[in-house]
Structure 1
Amino acid sequence: MRKVLTAAVVLAAGGAASAFLVSRGDTSQATNQAAQAVPVNTAKVTQQTLKDTETADGRLGFGATTAAVNRVAGTVTAVPDSGQELRRGNTVYSIDNKPTTLLYGALPAYRRLADGTEGTDVLQLEQNLQAMGYTGFTVDDEYTDATAAAVEEWQEDLGLDETGVVELGSVVFAPGHIRVDSVQAQEGAPLGPNQPVLNYTGTTRAVTVQLDAADQRLATLNAAVTVGLPDGKTVAGKIQKVSTVIIPAESQDKDPETKIEVIVSVADQRAVAAWSSAATDVTFTASERKNVLTVPVAALVALREGGFGVEVTDGTTSQYVPVKTGLFASGQVEISGTGIKAGTTVGIPK
């Protein structure tokens, strides 16, 4: 005699899918795979690529912002416009009519550079001097008399005192050319040390997504994603940066939120050139299994002796076959087991 024994809910990885699983038949029938009556509802085992995907809201812009902070007290005498793009050698802002110049480099400016200084920041400075056409020194990590002479020449061209010393606050190192996102300081206003002057971004459009901490599995560096644009088109993207951010509480009775901030680069910049800012959908692939055997999640049954199985039928009789489950996604589940192959017919429990 056959009967329904139990019902259980199985959640797929990441909660992408769920199914009610039932154990049918007595123990001896399930264990010995004895013939069963033919199921009314059936499905075919299919071979396909199974993807565990999640879609989240994103914001198209220019990626993460960085603050340019003043290092010396003085009066603001020049600031750029929001949206303005700046390149190597351009003035980012001026204090007391002395320019703070944009140079390229990954290491932020953090100290005074002078004869005898050594380090990565010296190498960055010399690389920039060479790129701007100054010569007579060796490009390495040592600040020598020859470096100082090149700096003096550069200072003369800028209309500055020719000290041969690069004071802290006279340059801003950024990875490449920048776009001014917003300006906090006003021309003519006094500004103390360590006060923000402006925020800047890169000049390449990117998508920013803030994921819940529970979805951190989606944020794999260099992983491919799909970006849905406002015009309904999609474009390929790649996870460029992953960081943790704390969102302050909106009120005293609420707790701060921890978010996973993901920056997605878009290789086809022409596809996103129409928008400086826009809402997007970003589809992440948490895991992927290629060319695996799958059935609808609803085809799984829980065997009394443990584990899962499917009811295999040839149209005349049926029997329960134990299977091993893999990835759950899009209402399908990866399975493997003896006699299971593409085209096999399985029952769908009512």
Structure 2
Amino acid sequence: MNENDGKVTGPQSRRRNRAGVVGVCVVAACVAVAAIGWAVVVVFAPPSEAVVEAPYTNVEVLMGEVGSSISLNTVAKWTEQPAGANQAVGIVTSVRIQSGEEVDAGAILYEVGLRPVVVAHGDTPSFRDVTVGSDGADVLQVQQFLAAIGFYDGAQDGEFGTGTAAAVRDWQEALGIEEDGVVRAADLVFVPQLPARITLDNEVVLRGATLAGGEPIVSMLPTEPTFVIPATSQQATKIPPGTEVEIAVQDQVWTAVAAAQEPSPESADQVNITLEAPNGGPICGDSCALIQVEGQSVLPSRIITQPTVTGLVVPSAALKSSADGAISVLGMDGTVIPVTVTASARGMSVVEGVEEGARVRIPAEQGGAK
């Protein structure tokens, strides 16, 4: 036997080896194709339809109130209007009224050389002494003045006769001065309106001061001071015309509404918001004397940016908004409950359409209506 017995070394043996190699390669290729196919299926197959519910908390719908306000200061200031001039010459011996005091015809304003200077109503300023035989608009004003204070009941015709002279003497007696029937130019200061709140120039009219005549020292106050809220531009956007304002003055609260807004000359970022009474008349009513006459008064105020509304209250975070703008809340079982929002402020809303005591969902990761 040949020593090579048991071994295949011829052509047939080599063909069998090549066939085996090819078979192995085909199997490997099939496995690779199958693996790629599986990967494609895994990558591109749609995910499973399992629904994972978003986390939420819940809250009970309760009766309550929703409102909002901001606190700022209101600046109140009187604007004086020139009303009359002094004609007396000499030294001021007495000042008889307080600044801003309301006076009527016959009130003594001050004294010069112990002679009273009296206020009267009229548009023509006092410019001369008048006595029997005088006539004119100033005489008519003297007659009207004497009638107003109860000393004259004769004809008001602008002619100074004996009847007028008698009334003047009675008035002079009441003042405690010489009864000569002559009204001196220095005796009266005519102002355009009475009664009125009168101020005197306290830098000119003071005890011991000397007056030369002609000083415009008498002013009138309007029926009310101006009321203005200085605010930043951002704050002003929250205070449109008609916004209610509550002004605290001592033990009183005055109600006003925002009116015009004007840029402040003092700062580019400041807006001055003028206030007015909601139904006309003075904001301060019959208590305007509480506002100091000189300088300005700074008054703490509450601006009602959202009037208080009572109703069923839910957190604003519980509100859902649909594409068409409809608002709703979700019940505990996921039911959509349409609601109407009547007021919102500070993260809470008053709604209609849901029952009191119901519990509604609040998405755990949402901070407001979506």
Task: Indicate the structure with greater helix content.
Answer: 2
Give 1:309's aligned residue: 327
Tell me the secondary structure at the aligned position of residue 241 of structure 2.
Answer: helix
Aligned CA RMSD, in angstroms, stands at 5.6
Shift of 1:188: 2.5
**Structure 2 counterparts to residues 192-203 of structure 1, below 5 A:** 195=216, 197=218
For structure 1, the residue ranges without an aligned partner over 5 or more in a row are 1-35, 104-108
**Structure 2 counterparts to residues 151-230 of structure 1, below 5 A:** 153=167, 156-157=171-172, 162=182, 169-171=189-191, 173=193, 180=199, 183-186=202-205, 187-188=209-210, 195=216, 197=218, 208-212=227-231, 214=237, 215-217=239-241, 225=246, 227=248
Shift of 1:280: 4.0
Structure 1 residues 250 and 236 mapped into 2: Cα distance closer, same or farther (>3 Å)? closer
**Structure 2 counterparts to residues 254-293 of structure 1, below 5 A:** 258-261=272-275, 264-265=283-284, 279-285=298-304, 288=307, 290-293=309-312
Give 1:67's aligned residue: 81
CA contact (8 A) 1:310 1:347 kept: no
Alignment: residue pair count = 273
Deviations 1:279-329 (A, max 9, x none): 5421243563653333223322222x2214233323xx1233333333333
Structure 1 residues 258 and 207 mapped into 2: Cα distance closer, same or farther (>3 Å)? closer
CA contact (8 A) 1:227 1:236 kept: yes
**Structure 2 counterparts to residues 243-258 of structure 1, below 5 A:** 249-250=265-266, 258=272
* Higher RCO (C-alpha under 8 Å, 6+ residues apart): 1
Deviations 1:245-270 (A, max 9, x none): 9787349xx5995431457538899x
Give 1:336's aligned residue: 352
Deviations 1:200-258 (A, max 9, x none): 588x9x995525465253566xx7x36286xxxx643333x98769787349xx59954
Structure 1 residues 93 and 198 mapped into 2: Cα distance closer, same or farther (>3 Å)? farther
Aligned-pair identity (%): 14
Give 1:56's aligned residue: 72
Paired with 2:68 and 2:298, the residues of 1 have a C-alpha distance of 23
Shift of 1:136: 2.5
Paired with 2:358 and 2:327, the residues of 1 have a C-alpha distance of 14
Shift of 1:133: 3.5
Give 2:336's aligned residue: 320
Aligned with residue 133 of structure 1, among 142, 150, 162: 150
TM-score by length of 2: 0.50
For structure 2, the residue ranges without an aligned partner over 5 or more in a row are 1-51, 127-133, 277-281, 366-370
Paired with 1:297 and 1:76, the residues of 2 have a C-alpha distance of 75
TM-score by length of 1: 0.52
Larger Rg: 2
Task: Indicate the structure with greater strand content.
Answer: 1
CA contact (8 A) 2:315 2:348 kept: yes
Paired with 2:189 and 2:259, the residues of 1 have a C-alpha distance of 27
Paired residue type of 2:317? A
CA contact (8 A) 1:68 1:199 kept: yes
Structure 1 residues 67 and 277 mapped into 2: Cα distance closer, same or farther (>3 Å)? closer
Tell me the secondary structure at the aligned position of residue 167 of structure 2.
Answer: helix
